[in-house]
Chains A and B, each alone.
Chain A
Amino acid sequence: MNKQDVLKLPSMPLQSPTYPEGPFRFFNREYLIIQYRSDPQAIREALPEPLEPAGDVVAVQWLDLPDGEGFGAYAATAQIIPCTFAGQPCNFVSQMYVDNAPPLAGGREIWGYPMKYGKAKLEVHGDTLTGTLHYAGQQTATGTMVFKHDAFRPDIATQQALLARTQITLKVIPDVDGTPAIAQLVGIEFENVKIHGAWSGEARLELIPSVNCPLADLPVKEVIGGLHMVTDLTLPYGRVLHDYLA
């Protein structure tokens, strides 16, 4: 392969790039989001400077992604910390677990999504919308929510506002000698968001301490409630908000 073609590769390996060029459109992307009150000191420690905490309510979310362009079918669990950057409200994505390598590698390498390999699942069991996460063979999180109790609520402004918020990731990529090559805060905004349905209701959340999947490091003090929605949306490229090496 000649040098010009090397520079056109979207990703490694040369013979079969792990992920193609973006942007990436997701169809029927389903969310279970459980908001809960946690410990303000633990939140402060989990947020990289210069991000500032915005209250003590954080979220664990499950995503079922049956049709992600370039990525395939998979599921994810994420921990989200609302914060402010230069006074603007944002969501810091602090941990993510997925069961599929292309979004895992692409997520880390393009945007700095903090992804590890975990077996996330979001499904309807009888009357219960159920999210589970297994890491290294052990269950580390369980979220449950009532199924579409407010099916006739017309207003989905809350959900729209939530998906419109800037997401922030801390992208860290080492150099070949182990020193940081990239250390940035990256801002990401979804595009062309279409909400097929959105519901809210009672929810419960259990986080189990695990050293390599430490969701429980932001302990559950009080569950606020659950949000359930089905969407189509586009994940575009991001932008550098802050460069720690500049």
Chain B
Amino acid sequence: MKVEDILKLPSMPAASPSYPMGPYRFVNREYMIVTYETDRDLLRAAVPEPLEPNPDGHVLYEWIRMPDSSGFGDYTESGVVIPCLYQGEPINFTAQMYLDDEPPISGGREIWGFPKKFAYPKLEVASDTLTGTLHYAGQMVAMGTMAFKHQVAPGGVEATAKAMTKTQCNLKIIPDVDGKPKIAQLVAYNLTDITIHGSWISPARLHLIPHVNAPVADLPIKRIVGGKHFIGDITLPHGRVLFDYLK
């Protein structure tokens, strides 16, 4: 393999790159998001400086079903998102993510620094209940339930589409071959080409179970704020460096 071809590789292995070049298009991406209030000191500790956690102590616990994702395939994801402020501007920080498909794990970590691990999330409608579960290393660590399409979300699909344009960010850490940090950045991105097919709010409950390697319960539930369910098509483009810890 020639040097110019090596420099064109989107990812490892050279023999069969895990993921192709972005951007990545997601069709019929389905979300269930349960918002809850947690302990403010624990939330502060889970958010890297210079981000500031939201003053309400809110956490978003998410399940995302992705049946048709260009370059990645068919998979499901679950995790913790913390609304934050960066220089006074609202931004969502992705704190933990668990999914059942290697290319979006490797690509997510290596391109944008999504904090992804391998686990078995599921999002499905079980009779009258929209149900999300997450199993890590053989044990259930999260279960969310939401009443099914009780009420159209305020502002309808337009308001949900607008909310989806909010800037999101990750803490990207990639070590050097000697174990020292090679990349340590806050990486921001904005979803584009958003079409929302339907959006609903309903009562919700959430159960988080302590687990050392999938510590979703480290931000304990003090109060459930509510549940949101929506389906849409989106594009995930490349990102930009918001803050570089090594400079």
A residues contacting B by CB (< 8 A) are 1-3, 6-7, 9-16, 18, 21-22, 45-49, 79, 94-96, 100-101, 104-105, 108-112, 114-117, 170-178, 180-184, 186, 211-214, 217, 237-240, 244-245
Contacts and interface: CB of A to CB of B under 8 A. Distances in A.
B14 A171 contact: no
B212 A9 contact: no
A95 B111 CA distance: 20
Given A108-B12, A170-B14, A117 B181 contact: no
Given A178-B21, A180-B7, A214-B15, A6 B109 contact: no
A1 B46 contact: yes
A79 to B, nearest CB: 8
Contacts of A94: 13-15
B175 A49 contact: no
A7 B49 contact: no
A13 B3 CA distance: 33
A172 B12 CA distance: 6
Contacts of B50: 3
Contacts of A22: 179
Contacts of B18: 116
B228 interface: no
13 contacts: A7-B181, A7-B184, A9-B173, A13-B117, A14-B95, A16-B213, A104-B106, A108-B106, A170-B6, A170-B14, A212-B16, A238-B178, A239-B178
A2 B172 contact: no
A21 B173 CA distance: 13
Contacts of A49: 1-3, 6
Contacts of A96: 13
B7 A11 contact: no
Contacts of A110: 175-177, 179
A105 B109 contact: yes
B184 A109 contact: no
A177 B12 contact: no
B243 to A, nearest CB: 9
Interface stretch (B61-69, B121-129, B233-241): B233-241
Given A1-B45, A94-B14, A174-B10, A13 B177 contact: no
A114 B12 contact: yes
A226 B207 CA distance: 50
Contact of B15 (A3, A6, A114, A182): A114
Across the A-B interface, the 3 shortest Cβ-Cβ residue pairs: A114-B13, A13-B115, A117-B102
Given A46-B1, A109-B109, A170-B14, A12 B173 contact: yes
Contact of B177 (A1, A105, A239): A239
A139 B10 CA distance: 26
Given A13-B95, A13-B96, A176 B172 contact: yes
B111 A176 contact: yes
B221 interface: no
A105 B214 CA distance: 15
Contacts of B13: 94-96, 114-116, 170
Nearest to A170: B14
A46 B6 contact: no
B117 A109 contact: no
B240 A176 contact: yes
B111 A178 contact: yes
Nearest to B177: A238
B15 A244 contact: no
Contacts of A46: 1, 14-15
Nearest to B16: A214
Contacts of A115: 12-13
A15 B46 contact: yes
Contact of B245 (A3, A13, A105, A181): A3
Interface in B93-135: 95-97, 101-103, 105-106, 109-118
A109 B173 CA distance: 9
Interface string B23-50: 0000000000000000000000111111
